[in-house]
Copies of this chain bind each other. A is one copy, B any other.
Amino acid sequence: MASKKISMAVIKRLPRYHRYLNYLLELGIKRVSSKELSSRMGITASQIRQDLNCFGGFGQQGYGYNVESLYNEIGNILGINKTFYCIIIGAGNMGQALSNYGNFIKRGFEVIGIFDVNPEVVGKKLKNLEVMNLDSLEEFILHNRVDIAMLCVPYRETATVADRVARLGVKGLWNFSPMDLKIPYDVIVENVHLSDSLMVLGYKLNDKFERE
């Protein structure tokens, strides 16, 4: 796979294509042209064709794209056929919300462990998993394959926990803290900065009202 580098702008659109194709699939639609997908998604047909052609020629001239096979192709590119083993660190509301989010498993993300420090929470069952004490984190990771750690601990703890997890060889961090992690290990971090997103919404609202 000595492919040319694909830009993040393209990658970030893939899950969205995947969702739309899934929707078409559920509607029983068999084929779709870039033009039709374009009008549904509100992006140009040109962009759709460019994006898809980063990964291969999935379409057929004069016909368009087969919905099911394109859905599967994009799924493969995103790796949802593989399983990523995940742990959730911090079993507060956010951690619990993630543990209950059934959509993840459909997309290949399986939660195999949940950790917390709070004695009132440790031992509690969430879904089919018992919350473990954070002290046993090291042991757990040594004995189980863990690809991704989902960090849902309070702000103050995040940097420490992230470092601890990365040191043990976990390769992906999904960070819910409003901070940018800097870790001296070879780790991929994906941030979910909720307050950033909310502030952008606030900006847009202000902007709109001021202009009107």
Q: What residues make up the interface of A, taking CB atoms closer than 8 Å to B?
A: 1, 11-12, 14-16, 18-19, 41, 77-80, 82, 84, 92-94, 96-98, 100-101, 103-104, 107-109, 147-148, 171-172, 174, 178-180, 188, 190, 192-206, 208-211
Q: How many copies does the complex hold?
A: 2
- A206 & B93 in contact (Cβ 8 Å cutoff): no
- B82 & A206 in contact (Cβ 8 Å cutoff): yes
CA distance A92 to B96 in the complex (A): 10
Known: A171-B208, A190-B200, A202-B108. A195 touches B15 (CB 8 A): yes
- B97 & A92 in contact (Cβ 8 Å cutoff): yes
Q: How far is the CB of A202 from chain B (nearest CB, A)?
A: 5
CA distance A198 to B19 in the complex (A): 14
Q: Which residues of B contact A198 (CB under 8 A)?
A: 104, 107, 109, 174, 190
CA distance A202 to B98 in the complex (A): 16
Q: How far is the CB of A127 from chain B (nearest CB, A)?
A: 11
Q: Which residues of B contact A96 (CB under 8 A)?
A: 93, 97
Q: How far is the CB of A198 from chain B (nearest CB, A)?
A: 6
CA distance A150 to B63 in the complex (A): 41
Q: How far is the CB of A111 from chain B (nearest CB, A)?
A: 11
- A199 & B148 in contact (Cβ 8 Å cutoff): no
- B15 & A84 in contact (Cβ 8 Å cutoff): no
Known: A16-B180, A78-B202. A97 touches B93 (CB 8 A): yes
